[in-house]
Amino acid sequence: MKTANRPKTEGISRRQFLKNSATAASLTALTAGIQAKAYAAGTGAIKIGLIGCGGRGAGAAVQALNASRRAKLVAMADAFQDRLERSYQAISGKHPDRTDVPAKRRFVGMDAYAKVIDADVDMVLLTTPPGFRPLHFEAAVKANKHIFMEKPVAVDSPGIRKMIAANKQAKKKGLLVAVGLNIRHQNNAREVIKRIHDGAIGKITFLRAYGNNAGVWVRPRQPGQTEMEYQMRNWYYFNWLCGDLIVEQTVHALDLINWAMQDHPVEAQGIGGRQVRVGPDYGEIFDNHAVEYTYGDGTKMFLFCRHIRGCWNSFGGIAHGTKGDADISKGTLNLHGAEPLRFERGVAGHQAEHDNLFAALDAGRPYNEGDYGISSTMTAILGRMATYSGQVVKWDQAIKSDTDLGPKRYAWDAEAPINPGKDKMYPCAMPGITKPY
């Protein structure tokens, strides 16, 4: 396999920054806002607040501090004290000189996010379980903060609609918005996508996406835990917090396909269930999904994702065309009659996404990844609706769904959105019975 010459890696082009986000008006607003805080001039600290102190949160904070010498972590929030303290130790161990988070700026509880937003920060990192993302994003935009948020950006259609509305406001205000779909920032993926869009593989005939792995952690119930605390600790297994594996993890693969197609699907149908991961410890989510998506031009995409040990694992997105195929996540191009071409990854995506965000901040460039973050998340939700119901689910109907998975209140004494039965098992979706919308 031939390796392509490594192209320039100084960041995403202006054209890519502008796509799906900026207008001349937003550029003017952004530049004015940045100059007011001396960002464009390259002086002054960029004060960051971290909301969500799990492993991904600590990683994102370190990567943000890596990206700019002017970045300084000044406030942190998490639902749990122990997670916040572990995260603080991890971050300060990497960047002791730019981690300035005394006890008075370490906030704990369901409302801790609001205290970080109010703590005189310039940017927030939103890395809680995704069920909280719309609430936190809306608050950060209202408070005029620049934002990095992890994927996915919602777990249900009401959350998607809230994100759409808040992102429109972010654009009007000229706020920078980054979404943690990190593969988009890898050199090899960008090079392959460019060639797909330039017609190198010909007309796309079909696409494949995979999200197959052994699964994630289980955190057993502890004595004295309330149901709300248990679900928050074991968040991956509850849809109001994670959206199921097809939303929480496989959104990456679905995003690659939408990127290649420059669109989102118009409908989906599929199958899924709980075959192996069954029991009180596994909440309500499925352990396997298989979805056929249809795009507006009739192109089909086939998705397989599962969390089952001892099986074939694969992750990524592949486009097949009349002249060859392209593996986007691996950065390879296979044209008929030619030697396969492989592109170098370059800077790892998790770091590159912060490098590109801070480069835009320094230069006064518009930067908003919200549109594709929202679209790819809704693509994943559409797939879950299809597998849970066993029906053909239309995009236009799905995005209007009023099914809100969250609790009536975000508080420790609030009723959890779902509760176990007498057998300690949580009810889960049943295809043929569960309604799609």
- pLDDT tens digits for 5-19? 443 333 333 334 334
Q: What is the pLDDT of residue 17?
A: 34
Average pLDDT over the chain, rounded to an integer: 92
Do residues 136 and 110 touch, judged by C-beta distance below 8 A? no
> Residue 376 burial by CB count (10 A; 0-12/13-18/19+): exposed, middle or buried?
buried
User: Tokens standing for 347?
Assistant: 């800077």
The fold for domain 187-344+376-398 equals Dihydrodipicolinate Reductase; domain 2 (3.30.360)
Q: Where in the chain is the domain with CATH 3.30.360.10?
A: 187-344+376-398
Query: What pLDDT digit, counting tens, does each position of 244-272 carry?
Result: 999 999 999 999 999 999 999 999 999 99
Taking the CA atoms of residue 136, residue 137, residue 140 and residue 145 in that order, the dihedral angle to the nearest 10 degrees is 140
Closest CA to 160 of 433, 341, 404, 385: 404
Q: What is the pLDDT of residue 6?
A: 41
Query: What pLDDT digit, counting tens, does each position of 381-416 carry?
Result: 999 999 999 999 999 999 999 999 999 999 999 999
Q: Which of the following CATH numbers is that of domain 2-183+350-368: 2.50.20.10, 3.40.50.2300, 3.40.50.1820, 3.40.50.720?
A: 3.40.50.720
Q: What is the pLDDT of residue 132?
A: 98
Q: Where in the chain is the domain with CATH 3.40.50.720?
A: 2-183+350-368
Q: What is the pLDDT of residue 3?
A: 55
